[in-house]
Amino acid sequence: MANSSGVVRAGTEPIGRTGSFTVTPEAKLEWPGGSLLLSLFVGSRRMGRSYGFEHDGHLYQAPVGYYANRGVFDLAPGYERDKKPDFTRPIGLECLSCHATRTELEPGQLNRYRAIVHGIGCERCHGDASEHDGLIRPSKLAPRLRDSVCEQCHLAGSVRLERAGKRMRDFRPGQDVGQYIEVFVGATPAGVRVNGHSEALAASRCKQASGDRLWCGTCHDPHRITDFNAVCQTCHSKPHRTGDCTGCHMPKARANDGGHAVFTDHSIGGKRDAGSALRSYFGRKPLPRDLGLAYVELATRSRDATLIEKAWPLLRGAPQRGDPPLLNALAAILAADGRREQAAAALRMSIEADPVQPDALRRLSALVESPAEARSLRSKAERILPARLPSR
Ligand code: HEC
Ligand code: HEC
Ligand code: HEC
Ligand code: HEC
Ligand code: HEC
Ligand code: HEC
C-alpha cells in the first residue's frame, strides 16, 4: 500500500503501446499529433497502474493504463468506449483520498495541488499522533470503528456516496465511517469486484457465523506476511483435509466490473446477493436522499430511465439547502424534463453552497437567458478546470 501512488520517474516505468499510443522509456505518452509526460502514478502495479499528467499545474488522468496480468498497456478503465482520446478528466480528491496519505488543494481548485503525500502512510490507519494521546491500535477499537479503518478505502459497494453535509476527507481512524458515507450493496452482478472485499467478507459464512471476531486484520497484518492456512485453522481446528485452504475456498477471478485484473474472492462459503434490492451495508434504513442519489448513479451507469422515476420522489422530498450533490441531481432531472428555470434555480443554490464545481457552472451556463451571464459562468468554470487542453 505504501506504493499506491507516487511520482513517475523516467526509466522505472514499463514501456509499450496500445492502439495509436506509445509509452517511451522517458515515460512519455506519444500519439500521432501529440505527446505528454506522465508525471503521477496511481496503483502499485501489482494489479495495474493508472497515470496522470500535469498541464498548467492541473492534474489529469491519462487515457491509458498498465495491466500487470497481461503485461501490457491498454485504455484505462472508463476510457474503453471513447471514440477520441479524452485528456480532460481531472485527478481530483476521489482517487487520491484512497491512494495517497494526504493531499492539499490550492484554494478554489479541483485538481491543482499544493502538496500530495504519496502512498498510504501510518496516519491513515493509526491516526495522527499529535491529534491523540499516542497512536490508535486498530485491533483495540470497538468492532465498527476497527472495521472502519479499512473500510475508508476498501469498501466501495454498488454505490458509495457522502452523506449530506459530510466530507470523507474529515474522517479519522477511531471514527465510524458510516457517519460520513452511505454504502449500498445489492443490485450488482455476482462475482468478484474491484475493491469489493469488505462486502464480500460480510457475505461469507465465516463472518456471519463468527461476527465481530473476524475482520480484515485477522488475515492481513499490514506489517507482516500472513500464513493464511494457519489463520483458517484457528477456527477450523479439524479441517476436512490439509493443503492450501485458500486455493480452493478463496479462488481468484477476473473482476466483473471493469478492468482486467484478477482478485481474490472473499465471500468464503457464502453467497453474494446478486440482483437483489439496494440496501445499506451498515444494516440501517437508508435516508431517502441517499437512496435517491444511489438510484441516479445506477441509472447513469445502466442507462435505465425507470430508476430515475424511483429516484425523483425520494429526492424531491429531501432537504435541499447546502447539499450540492442532491441539488445537481435534481437539476439534471428537471433539465431533462424541459423545466429549465427550476433546473437553473437548483444549480444556483448548488453553486452558492460550493463554488468549486466546473460541471455545475457549465450546465448552468447552458440554461441561463443572458449571454453575458453564460459567458461569465463558463469563464469561471474554465478557471477551475480548463475544458480543452491546448494541442501540443
Ligand atoms: C487510505 C486508504 C487505505 C486504507 C486506510 C487501507 N488500505 Fe489497503 N489498500 C489500499 C490501496 C489503494 C491498495 C492497493 C494498493 C496498490 O496495489 O496500488 C491497498 C491494498 C491492500 C492489500 C493488498 C496487498 C498490499 O499490501 O498492497 C491488502 C491486503 C490491504 N490493502 C489490506 C488493508 C487492511 C487490512 C486495512 C485496514 C487495517 C487497509 N488495507 C487499509 C488503500 C487502503
Ligand atoms: C474508495 C477508495 C478508492 C478510490 C476512490 C479509488 N481507488 Fe483505486 N483502488 C482502491 C483499492 C482498495 C484498490 C485495491 C483493490 C483491491 O485489491 O481490492 C485499488 C486499486 C487500484 C488500481 C490497481 C492497483 C494495483 O494493485 O496494481 C489502480 C490502477 C487504481 N486503483 C486506480 C484508481 C484511480 C485512477 C482512481 C480515481 C479515478 C481510483 N483508483 C479511485 C481504492 C480506491
Ligand atoms: C493499512 C493500515 C496500516 C498502515 C498504513 C500502518 N499500520 Fe501499523 N498496524 C496496522 C494494524 C492493523 C496493526 C495490527 C493490529 C493493531 O495493533 O491494532 C498494526 C500494528 C502496528 C504496531 C504494533 C506492533 C506490531 O508490529 O504489530 C506498530 C508499532 C505500528 N503498526 C506502526 C506503524 C507505522 C510506524 C506505520 C507507518 C510506517 C504503520 N504502522 C502503518 C495497520 C496499519
Ligand atoms: C474467526 C473464525 C474463522 C476464521 C478465521 C475462518 N473461518 Fe471459516 N467459518 C467460521 C465459522 C464460525 C463458520 C460457520 C461454521 C458452520 O456453519 O458450521 C465458517 C464457515 C466456513 C465455510 C463454509 C461452511 C459451510 O457451512 O458451507 C468454509 C468453506 C470456511 N469457513 C472456510 C474457511 C477458510 C478457508 C478460512 C481461512 C481462509 C476460514 N474459513 C477462516 C469461522 C472462521
Ligand atoms: C479469512 C482470511 C481473509 C480475510 C478475513 C480477509 N482477507 Fe484479504 N486476502 C486473503 C487471501 C488468502 C488473499 C490472497 C492473498 C494472495 O494471493 O497472496 C487476500 C487478498 C487480499 C487483497 C489483494 C487483492 C486480491 O484481491 O487478491 C486485498 C486488497 C485484500 N485481501 C483486502 C482485504 C480486506 C479489505 C479485508 C477485510 C474486509 C480482507 N482482505 C479480509 C484472505 C483474507
Ligand atoms: C482441494 C480443495 C480444498 C482444499 C485444499 C480445502 N477444502 Fe475445504 N472444502 C472443499 C470442498 C469442495 C468442500 C465441500 C463443500 C463446499 O463446496 O463448500 C469443502 C468444505 C469445507 C468446509 C465446510 C464444512 C466441512 O468441514 O465439510 C470447511 C469449514 C472447509 N472446507 C474448510 C477448509 C479448510 C480450513 C481448509 C484448509 C486446511 C480446506 N477447507 C481445504 C475443498 C477444499
220-264, pLDDT tens digit by residue?
998 988 899 999 999 999 989 888 999 999 988 776 555 556 688
Query: 51 CA distance to ligand 5 centroid (A)?
Result: 25
What's the pLDDT score for residue 386?
A: 86
Return the closest-CA partner of residue 203 out of 291, 270, 107, 132. Answer: 270
What's the pLDDT score for residue 241?
A: 87
Query: Average pLDDT of 173-201?
Result: 83
Name which residue leads in pLDDT, 86 or 384.
384
- Whether 270 is covered by a domain: the verdict is no
What's the pLDDT score for residue 134?
A: 75
Q: Answer whether 18's CB lies under 8 Å from 72's CB.
A: yes
Weakest mean pLDDT among 86-95, 307-316, 353-362: 86-95
- Whether 354 is covered by a domain: the verdict is yes
Please, which pLDDT band fits residue 212 given cuts at 50, 70 and 90?
very high
- Asked if residue 31 and residue 164 are part of one domain, the reply reads no
What's the pLDDT score for residue 188?
A: 63
Is the confidence at residue 371, as pLDDT, over 80?
A: yes
- Asked if residue 259 and residue 130 are part of one domain, the reply reads yes
Query: Average pLDDT of 185-207?
Result: 78
pLDDT tens sequence across 129-167: 777 667 899 999 999 999 999 999 999 888 999 999 999
- Asked if residue 185 and residue 96 are part of one domain, the reply reads no
Weakest mean pLDDT among 115-124, 168-177, 258-267, 290-299: 258-267
What's the pLDDT score for residue 374?
A: 97
How far is it, in rounded angstroms, from Cα 255 to Cα 124?
26
Pocket test for ligand 3, best of 44, 118, 122, 218 (most atoms within 8 A of CB): 122
How far is it, in rounded angstroms, from Cα 7 to Cα 289?
39
Closest protein CA for atom 1 of ligand 4: 214
150 lines ligand 1 (CB under 6 A): yes
What's the pLDDT score for residue 192?
A: 56
How far is it, in rounded angstroms, from Cα 388 to Cα 120?
32
- Asked if residue 100 and residue 34 are part of one domain, the reply reads yes
- Total domain count, the chain: 3
Query: Average pLDDT of 202-218?
Result: 94
- The amino acid that residue 232 corresponds to is C
Please, which pLDDT band fits residue 275 given cuts at 50, 70 and 90?
low
**Angle at alpha carbon of residue 264, lines to 263 and 267, rounded to 5°:** 130
C-alpha cell at 295: 438510484
Smallest-distance ligand from the CA of 270: 4
Indicate which atom in ligand 5 lies nearest the CA of residue 263. 26
235 lines ligand 4 (CB under 6 A): yes
Boundary of a domain, candidates 118, 139, 159: 118
How far is it, in rounded angstroms, from Cα 248 to Cα 190?
18
* Residues 86-123: b if buried by 16+ CB within 10 A, e if exposed: ebebbbbbebbbbbbbebebeeebbbbbeebebebeeb
- Asked if residue 236 and residue 188 are part of one domain, the reply reads yes
- Asked if residue 259 and residue 129 are part of one domain, the reply reads yes
- Asked if residue 150 and residue 216 are part of one domain, the reply reads yes
Closest protein CA for atom 20 of ligand 4: 206
Query: 201 CA distance to ligand 5 centroid (A)?
Result: 9
Q: What percent of the chain has pLDDT over 90?
A: 67
- Whether 160 is covered by a domain: the verdict is yes
Query: Average pLDDT of 306-313?
Result: 94
Full residue range of the structural domain in which residue 196 is found: 123-264
Boundary of a domain, candidates 72, 100, 118: 118
- Whether 392 is covered by a domain: the verdict is no
What's the pLDDT score for residue 19?
A: 87
How far is it, in rounded angstroms, from Cα 378 to Cα 315?
28
How far is it, in rounded angstroms, from Cα 309 to Cα 238?
53
Q: Answer whether 34's CB lies under 8 Å from 129's CB.
A: no
- Asked if residue 253 and residue 128 are part of one domain, the reply reads yes
Boundary of a domain, candidates 69, 92, 118: 118
Pocket test for ligand 3, best of 4, 102, 123, 125 (most atoms within 8 A of CB): 125
What's the pLDDT score for residue 160?
A: 95
What's the pLDDT score for residue 186?
A: 82
Is the confidence at residue 84, as pLDDT, over 90?
A: no
- Assign residue 376 the CATH number of its domain: 1.25.40.10
What's the pLDDT score for residue 79?
A: 83
Q: What percent of the chain has pLDDT over 70?
A: 93
- Whether 378 is covered by a domain: the verdict is yes
What's the pLDDT score for residue 133?
A: 66
How far is it, in rounded angstroms, from Cα 361 to Cα 352?
11
Is the confidence at residue 273, as pLDDT, over 60?
A: no
How far is it, in rounded angstroms, from Cα 53 to Cα 89?
10
Query: Average pLDDT of 332-346?
Result: 96
- Asked if residue 214 and residue 313 are part of one domain, the reply reads no
